[in-house]
Amino acid sequence: MSDRYCVIGNPIAHSKSPLIHAAFAAAMGQDLIYERCLAPLDGFEATVRGLVDQGYRGANVTVPFKLEAARLATRLEPRAHAAGAVNTLIFANGEIVGDNTDGPGLVADIVRNAGVALKDKRILLLGAGGAARGALLPLLLQAPRQIVIANRTLATAERLVQDFSKHADKLAVSGFAEVEGSFDVVINATSASLASDVPPVPPTVFHPGTLALDMMYGNKPTVFMDFATLHGASVRDGLGMLVEQAAEAFVLWRGVRPDTAAVLTSMRQP
Ligand code: NDP
Protein backbone atom coordinates (compact mmCIF):
# COMPACT_ATOMS: atom_id res chain seq x y z
CA MET A 1 0.00 0.00 0.00
CA SER A 2 1.22 3.54 -0.78
CA ASP A 3 2.53 5.66 2.14
CA ARG A 4 0.02 8.35 3.06
CA TYR A 5 0.55 12.02 3.90
CA CYS A 6 -1.71 15.06 3.96
CA VAL A 7 -1.92 18.78 4.66
CA ILE A 8 -4.14 19.73 7.60
CA GLY A 9 -5.79 23.15 7.73
CA ASN A 10 -9.07 25.04 7.92
CA PRO A 11 -9.88 26.08 5.23
CA ILE A 12 -7.88 23.68 3.07
CA ALA A 13 -9.58 23.41 -0.35
CA HIS A 14 -7.26 26.06 -1.84
CA SER A 15 -4.04 24.26 -0.85
CA LYS A 16 -1.57 23.59 -3.66
CA SER A 17 0.49 21.18 -1.54
CA PRO A 18 -1.11 17.99 -2.99
CA LEU A 19 -0.15 19.11 -6.52
CA ILE A 20 3.42 19.86 -5.46
CA HIS A 21 3.94 16.59 -3.59
CA ALA A 22 2.34 14.55 -6.39
CA ALA A 23 4.80 16.15 -8.82
CA PHE A 24 7.75 15.45 -6.51
CA ALA A 25 6.64 11.83 -6.00
CA ALA A 26 6.23 11.24 -9.75
CA ALA A 27 9.64 12.76 -10.52
CA MET A 28 11.39 10.78 -7.77
CA GLY A 29 9.55 7.48 -8.33
CA GLN A 30 8.17 7.53 -4.77
CA ASP A 31 5.03 5.56 -4.01
CA LEU A 32 2.93 7.90 -1.89
CA ILE A 33 -0.48 9.52 -1.60
CA TYR A 34 -0.82 13.12 -0.39
CA GLU A 35 -4.28 14.53 0.38
CA ARG A 36 -6.01 17.61 1.80
CA CYS A 37 -7.38 17.18 5.32
CA LEU A 38 -9.92 19.63 6.73
CA ALA A 39 -9.72 19.66 10.55
CA PRO A 40 -12.49 21.25 12.61
CA LEU A 41 -11.25 24.44 14.31
CA ASP A 42 -11.56 22.70 17.69
CA GLY A 43 -10.47 19.29 16.41
CA PHE A 44 -6.82 19.50 15.35
CA GLU A 45 -5.48 17.07 17.96
CA ALA A 46 -8.22 14.48 17.28
CA THR A 47 -7.51 14.79 13.55
CA VAL A 48 -3.78 14.17 14.02
CA ARG A 49 -4.37 11.20 16.33
CA GLY A 50 -6.81 9.77 13.76
CA LEU A 51 -4.16 10.05 11.03
CA VAL A 52 -1.59 8.30 13.22
CA ASP A 53 -4.08 5.50 13.94
CA GLN A 54 -4.74 5.11 10.21
CA GLY A 55 -1.02 4.66 9.57
CA TYR A 56 -0.25 8.00 7.91
CA ARG A 57 3.52 8.69 7.81
CA GLY A 58 3.36 12.45 8.21
CA ALA A 59 1.49 15.67 7.55
CA ASN A 60 1.96 19.31 6.73
CA VAL A 61 0.16 21.83 8.91
CA THR A 62 -1.19 25.16 7.76
CA VAL A 63 -3.39 28.02 9.01
CA PRO A 64 -4.56 28.13 11.78
CA PHE A 65 -2.91 25.11 13.40
CA LYS A 66 0.86 25.72 13.30
CA LEU A 67 1.13 26.78 16.95
CA GLU A 68 -1.13 23.96 18.13
CA ALA A 69 1.01 21.51 16.17
CA ALA A 70 4.08 22.71 18.09
CA ARG A 71 2.29 21.99 21.36
CA LEU A 72 1.08 18.57 20.21
CA ALA A 73 4.43 17.27 18.94
CA THR A 74 6.16 14.84 21.30
CA ARG A 75 9.53 16.16 20.06
CA LEU A 76 10.47 19.40 18.30
CA GLU A 77 13.41 19.85 15.95
CA PRO A 78 15.53 22.92 16.91
CA ARG A 79 14.22 25.16 14.12
CA ALA A 80 10.61 24.35 15.06
CA HIS A 81 11.44 25.03 18.69
CA ALA A 82 12.97 28.40 17.74
CA ALA A 83 9.94 29.24 15.61
CA GLY A 84 7.41 28.04 18.20
CA ALA A 85 5.49 26.77 15.18
CA VAL A 86 5.34 23.52 13.20
CA ASN A 87 4.45 23.07 9.53
CA THR A 88 5.68 19.48 9.17
CA LEU A 89 4.84 16.46 11.30
CA ILE A 90 6.62 13.12 11.05
CA PHE A 91 4.87 10.09 12.52
CA ALA A 92 7.50 7.45 13.33
CA ASN A 93 8.28 4.97 16.10
CA GLY A 94 5.34 6.11 18.21
CA GLU A 95 6.56 9.72 18.12
CA ILE A 96 5.00 12.84 16.61
CA VAL A 97 8.03 14.88 15.56
CA GLY A 98 7.45 18.56 14.72
CA ASP A 99 9.66 20.51 12.32
CA ASN A 100 9.40 23.82 10.51
CA THR A 101 10.43 24.03 6.85
CA ASP A 102 8.87 27.45 6.08
CA GLY A 103 12.03 29.41 6.96
CA PRO A 104 14.44 27.08 5.12
CA GLY A 105 12.04 27.23 2.14
CA LEU A 106 12.13 31.03 2.18
CA VAL A 107 15.93 31.09 2.35
CA ALA A 108 16.24 28.51 -0.46
CA ASP A 109 13.97 30.60 -2.67
CA ILE A 110 15.96 33.78 -2.04
CA VAL A 111 19.46 32.28 -2.21
CA ARG A 112 19.04 29.51 -4.79
CA ASN A 113 16.11 30.56 -6.95
CA ALA A 114 16.56 34.34 -6.89
CA GLY A 115 20.36 34.07 -6.66
CA VAL A 116 20.61 36.62 -3.82
CA ALA A 117 23.18 35.76 -1.13
CA LEU A 118 22.23 37.02 2.34
CA LYS A 119 25.66 37.18 3.99
CA ASP A 120 26.39 40.74 5.20
CA LYS A 121 23.10 41.98 3.74
CA ARG A 122 20.63 44.32 5.44
CA ILE A 123 17.19 42.66 5.64
CA LEU A 124 13.83 44.21 6.50
CA LEU A 125 11.33 41.66 7.82
CA LEU A 126 7.76 43.00 7.83
CA GLY A 127 5.52 41.15 10.30
CA ALA A 128 6.11 39.26 13.53
CA GLY A 129 3.54 36.45 13.29
CA GLY A 130 4.10 32.74 12.74
CA ALA A 131 5.70 33.10 9.31
CA ALA A 132 8.16 35.80 10.45
CA ARG A 133 8.99 33.73 13.55
CA GLY A 134 9.70 30.67 11.38
CA ALA A 135 11.88 32.71 9.02
CA LEU A 136 14.07 34.35 11.63
CA LEU A 137 16.52 31.56 12.59
CA PRO A 138 17.13 30.37 9.00
CA LEU A 139 17.71 34.01 7.97
CA LEU A 140 20.13 34.57 10.87
CA LEU A 141 22.04 31.41 9.92
CA GLN A 142 22.88 33.11 6.60
CA ALA A 143 24.95 35.70 8.57
CA PRO A 144 23.26 38.91 7.39
CA ARG A 145 24.59 42.27 8.63
CA GLN A 146 21.29 43.22 10.25
CA ILE A 147 17.62 42.21 10.32
CA VAL A 148 15.14 44.96 11.16
CA ILE A 149 11.74 43.57 12.20
CA ALA A 150 8.87 46.00 11.64
CA ASN A 151 5.36 45.17 12.77
CA ARG A 152 1.99 46.88 13.20
CA THR A 153 1.94 45.81 16.86
CA LEU A 154 5.36 46.82 18.14
CA ALA A 155 5.14 44.67 21.29
CA THR A 156 4.89 41.49 19.18
CA ALA A 157 8.08 42.37 17.31
CA GLU A 158 9.79 43.18 20.61
CA ARG A 159 8.78 39.80 22.02
CA LEU A 160 10.13 38.07 18.93
CA VAL A 161 13.51 39.80 19.33
CA GLN A 162 13.58 38.91 23.04
CA ASP A 163 13.06 35.26 22.12
CA PHE A 164 16.14 35.50 19.87
CA SER A 165 18.24 37.48 22.39
CA LYS A 166 21.30 35.36 21.54
CA HIS A 167 21.32 37.22 18.21
CA ALA A 168 20.48 40.65 19.68
CA ASP A 169 23.46 42.36 18.01
CA LYS A 170 21.97 41.56 14.59
CA LEU A 171 18.35 42.46 15.35
CA ALA A 172 16.40 45.72 15.61
CA VAL A 173 12.70 46.54 15.98
CA SER A 174 10.73 49.34 14.33
CA GLY A 175 7.26 50.57 13.56
CA PHE A 176 6.44 50.55 9.82
CA ALA A 177 6.57 54.32 9.30
CA GLU A 178 9.76 54.71 11.34
CA VAL A 179 11.92 52.27 9.36
CA GLU A 180 15.21 54.01 8.51
CA GLY A 181 17.52 53.53 5.55
CA SER A 182 17.38 51.15 2.61
CA PHE A 183 17.64 47.37 2.52
CA ASP A 184 19.07 44.69 0.24
CA VAL A 185 16.11 42.39 0.90
CA VAL A 186 12.60 43.31 2.08
CA ILE A 187 10.36 40.38 3.08
CA ASN A 188 6.64 40.89 3.57
CA ALA A 189 5.67 38.28 6.18
CA THR A 190 2.47 40.10 7.12
CA SER A 191 -0.92 38.93 5.95
CA ALA A 192 -1.70 42.51 4.81
CA SER A 193 -1.79 41.49 1.14
CA LEU A 194 -4.80 39.28 1.88
CA ALA A 195 -6.74 42.49 2.49
CA SER A 196 -4.97 44.32 -0.37
CA ASP A 197 -3.11 46.44 2.19
CA VAL A 198 0.54 47.48 2.06
CA PRO A 199 2.44 47.86 5.34
CA PRO A 200 3.03 51.65 5.37
CA VAL A 201 6.83 51.64 5.17
CA PRO A 202 8.59 54.59 3.49
CA PRO A 203 9.50 53.90 -0.17
CA THR A 204 13.11 54.70 0.75
CA VAL A 205 13.42 51.14 2.15
CA PHE A 206 13.95 50.10 -1.48
CA HIS A 207 16.97 50.91 -3.60
CA PRO A 208 17.71 49.72 -7.13
CA GLY A 209 18.69 46.08 -6.70
CA THR A 210 16.58 45.47 -3.59
CA LEU A 211 14.82 42.10 -3.66
CA ALA A 212 11.26 42.47 -2.33
CA LEU A 213 9.51 39.18 -1.56
CA ASP A 214 5.88 38.84 -0.52
CA MET A 215 5.19 35.51 1.18
CA MET A 216 1.69 35.64 -0.27
CA TYR A 217 1.01 34.42 -3.81
CA GLY A 218 -1.85 34.53 -6.24
CA ASN A 219 -2.70 34.89 -9.91
CA LYS A 220 -1.31 38.41 -10.09
CA PRO A 221 1.32 40.47 -8.24
CA THR A 222 0.26 41.54 -4.75
CA VAL A 223 -0.21 45.22 -3.87
CA PHE A 224 3.07 45.02 -1.93
CA MET A 225 4.87 43.75 -5.05
CA ASP A 226 3.35 46.60 -7.12
CA PHE A 227 4.51 49.12 -4.49
CA ALA A 228 8.03 47.68 -4.44
CA THR A 229 8.23 47.57 -8.26
CA LEU A 230 7.17 51.23 -8.42
CA HIS A 231 10.12 52.11 -6.21
CA GLY A 232 12.76 50.19 -8.15
CA ALA A 233 12.89 46.80 -6.42
CA SER A 234 12.84 43.43 -8.15
CA VAL A 235 10.02 41.30 -6.79
CA ARG A 236 9.02 37.71 -6.00
CA ASP A 237 5.84 36.23 -4.62
CA GLY A 238 5.60 33.38 -2.10
CA LEU A 239 5.10 30.53 -4.59
CA GLY A 240 8.82 29.72 -4.69
CA MET A 241 8.87 29.59 -0.89
CA LEU A 242 5.84 27.29 -0.93
CA VAL A 243 7.50 24.84 -3.33
CA GLU A 244 10.80 24.97 -1.43
CA GLN A 245 9.21 24.36 1.98
CA ALA A 246 7.42 21.38 0.43
CA ALA A 247 10.74 20.06 -0.88
CA GLU A 248 12.26 20.35 2.61
CA ALA A 249 9.32 18.37 4.04
CA PHE A 250 9.71 15.76 1.27
CA VAL A 251 13.37 15.32 2.28
CA LEU A 252 12.35 14.79 5.93
CA TRP A 253 9.75 12.16 5.02
CA ARG A 254 11.40 10.35 2.11
CA GLY A 255 15.15 10.99 2.53
CA VAL A 256 15.56 12.24 -1.06
CA ARG A 257 15.58 15.82 -2.36
CA PRO A 258 13.28 16.56 -5.30
CA ASP A 259 14.20 19.08 -7.99
CA THR A 260 12.03 22.16 -7.46
CA ALA A 261 12.69 24.15 -10.65
CA ALA A 262 10.42 22.15 -12.96
CA VAL A 263 7.59 22.07 -10.40
CA LEU A 264 7.83 25.82 -9.82
CA THR A 265 7.75 26.47 -13.56
CA SER A 266 4.69 24.28 -14.06
CA MET A 267 2.88 25.90 -11.10
CA ARG A 268 3.42 29.30 -12.69
CA GLN A 269 1.58 28.25 -15.86
CA PRO A 270 -1.88 29.86 -15.95
P1 NDP B 1 -0.07 35.46 11.40
O2 NDP B 1 -1.52 35.64 11.55
O3 NDP B 1 0.69 34.64 12.39
O4 NDP B 1 0.64 36.92 11.43
C5 NDP B 1 0.13 37.98 10.67
C6 NDP B 1 1.11 39.15 10.65
O7 NDP B 1 0.61 40.10 9.71
C8 NDP B 1 1.25 39.86 11.98
O9 NDP B 1 2.55 40.38 12.08
C10 NDP B 1 0.22 41.00 11.83
O11 NDP B 1 0.53 42.14 12.62
C12 NDP B 1 0.41 41.35 10.38
N13 NDP B 1 -0.76 41.99 9.75
C14 NDP B 1 -1.98 41.44 9.56
N15 NDP B 1 -2.76 42.31 8.87
C16 NDP B 1 -2.03 43.41 8.64
C17 NDP B 1 -2.29 44.64 7.98
N18 NDP B 1 -3.47 44.89 7.43
N19 NDP B 1 -1.30 45.55 7.90
C20 NDP B 1 -0.10 45.29 8.45
N21 NDP B 1 0.22 44.14 9.10
C22 NDP B 1 -0.74 43.21 9.19
O23 NDP B 1 0.14 34.95 9.90
P24 NDP B 1 1.39 34.13 9.33
O25 NDP B 1 2.61 34.74 9.91
O26 NDP B 1 1.15 32.68 9.50
O27 NDP B 1 1.29 34.42 7.75
C28 NDP B 1 1.65 35.66 7.19
C29 NDP B 1 1.59 35.59 5.67
O30 NDP B 1 2.58 34.70 5.17
C31 NDP B 1 0.25 35.08 5.12
O32 NDP B 1 -0.09 35.88 4.00
C33 NDP B 1 0.54 33.66 4.72
O34 NDP B 1 -0.30 33.25 3.65
C35 NDP B 1 1.98 33.78 4.25
N36 NDP B 1 2.72 32.51 4.30
C37 NDP B 1 3.22 32.00 3.14
C38 NDP B 1 3.95 30.83 3.13
C39 NDP B 1 4.50 30.32 1.84
O40 NDP B 1 4.95 29.17 1.78
N41 NDP B 1 4.53 31.13 0.79
C42 NDP B 1 4.18 30.06 4.36
C43 NDP B 1 3.64 30.69 5.55
C44 NDP B 1 2.92 31.87 5.50
P45 NDP B 1 0.01 42.28 14.15
O46 NDP B 1 1.01 41.58 15.00
O47 NDP B 1 -0.02 43.74 14.35
O48 NDP B 1 -1.35 41.66 14.18
Q: Tell whether 175 and 85 lie within a shared domain.
A: no
66 is catalytic: yes
Q: Side by side, which strands form the sheet with 185-188?
A: 171-174, 146-150, 122-126, 185-188, 211-214, 234-236
Q: Tell whether 36 and 9 lie within a shared domain.
A: yes
Q: Tell whether 164 and 135 lie within a shared domain.
A: yes
Q: Give me the CATH number covering residue 252.
A: 3.40.50.10860
Q: Tell whether 78 and 197 lie within a shared domain.
A: no
Please state the domain count of the chain. 2
Cβ within 8 Å of residue 245, ≥6 positions away: 87, 101, 102, 104, 105, 106
Residue 109 gets which letter from DSSP? I
Pocket of ligand 1 (CB under 6 A): 102, 127-132, 151-153, 156, 189-192, 194-195, 197, 199, 215-217, 238, 241-242, 245
- Dist CA 50 CA 28 (whole Å): 28
- Ligand 1 test: best mutation among 62, 149, 190, most atoms within 8 Å of CB? 190
Q: Give the position, in ligand 1's atom list, of the atom nearest the Cα of 217.
A: 41
Q: Tell whether 71 and 46 lie within a shared domain.
A: yes
Residue by residue, pLDDT tens for the chain (270 residues) are: 899 999 999 999 999 999 999 999 999 999 999 999 999 999 999 999 999 999 999 999 999 999 999 999 999 999 999 999 999 999 999 999 999 999 999 999 999 999 999 999 999 999 998 899 999 999 999 999 999 999 999 999 999 999 999 999 999 999 999 999 999 999 999 999 989 999 999 999 999 999 999 999 999 999 999 999 999 999 999 999 999 999 999 999 999 999 999 999 999 887
Q: Which domain holds residue 64?
A: 3-100+240-267
- Dist CA 12 CA 39 (whole Å): 9
Q: Give me the CATH number covering residue 133.
A: 3.40.50.720
Q: Tell whether 128 and 217 lie within a shared domain.
A: yes
Q: Tell whether 178 and 263 lie within a shared domain.
A: no
Cis peptide, bond prior to residue 64, ω within 30 of zero: yes
